[in-house]
Structure 1
Amino acid sequence: MTNNMTESKKLPIALFNGTVATTNGLYKVSDISIDEAKALIKEYGHISAIGHEATAELMSEILGVKIEMNRIQFQQQVGQKAVILKLNIRPAEGIILTREEVEEVGYTFKLMERLA
């Protein structure tokens, strides 16, 4: 195993509230179960790039860990995984949903991996 591979395995799981490529690269996006997301976070830890309080609260409850709202400029590294809460709809411009509204419109969890 190369040094790069070892380092990438230690990268914390990034948490996003949308599937967004944070920098140039090759990405793979797939569905992930809540249990799979919990296991990844337990193994690798996490870094929140969640930009909305309602999403941070909901993800905290679902994933069983404290997730802070954290509006940061984040760049996903090669080999780093991200767990994403993806809404089933795209809200109108300027609309910030409450937690209840997020639950009402529905969501899925996605795993986004930066491959290159």
Structure 2
Amino acid sequence: MRLPIALFNGTVATTNGLYSIEDIGFKEAKQLVSKHGFESAIGHQATADILSELLQQDVQMNRIQFKQEVGQFAVVLKLNKRPPEGIILNKEEMEKIGFSLKLMKRIK
């Protein structure tokens, strides 16, 4: 069974298990999502907007309870620094802080 790539706005373990996390480039993430499809578990509109541009896909905000399956990959947008408590950043503020993408796989 081919699982879609999960999209997250943080490196979060969605259930018990063993995970690996590594950097992934924008181009590689775009190719991975294009090849395998995706399921958005993005909880903030600004993150959905940025990923839509980067991945050239229509990524919708989707505040769901997601459980990453064994063998399933996730592409994660990770901010370069943590915003203050209670602050919801807009797209421009996120771009100013900067971010990277991570590839997260549930191993077991």
Query: Over residues 2-35 of structure 1, what are the superposed CA-to-partner deviations in whole Å (9 max), with x where a residue is unaligned?
Result: xxxxx2xx10000000000000000000000111
CA distance in 1, matches of 2:51, 2:28: 14
1:14 equivalent in alignment to 2:2? no
Find the residue that maps to 2:29 and give its secondary structure: helix
* Residue of 78, 81, 97 corresponding to 1:105: 97
> TM-score of the superposition, structure 2-length normalised?
0.98
Residue identity in the other structure for 2:12: V
Find the residue that maps to 1:82 and give its secondary structure: strand
1:71 equivalent in alignment to 2:63? yes
1:59 equivalent in alignment to 2:51? yes
TM superposition shift of 1:58: 0.7
Structure 1 stretches of 4+ with a deviation exceeding 4 A read none
Q: 1:24 maps to what in 2?
A: 16
CA distance in 2, matches of 1:94, 1:71: 17
Q: Percent identity?
A: 61
- Runs of at least 5 residues in structure 2 that lack an aligned partner in the other structure: none
Q: 1:88 maps to what in 2?
A: 80
Greater fraction of residues in helix? 1
CA distance in 2, matches of 1:72, 1:107: 23
Find the residue that maps to 2:51 and give its secondary structure: helix
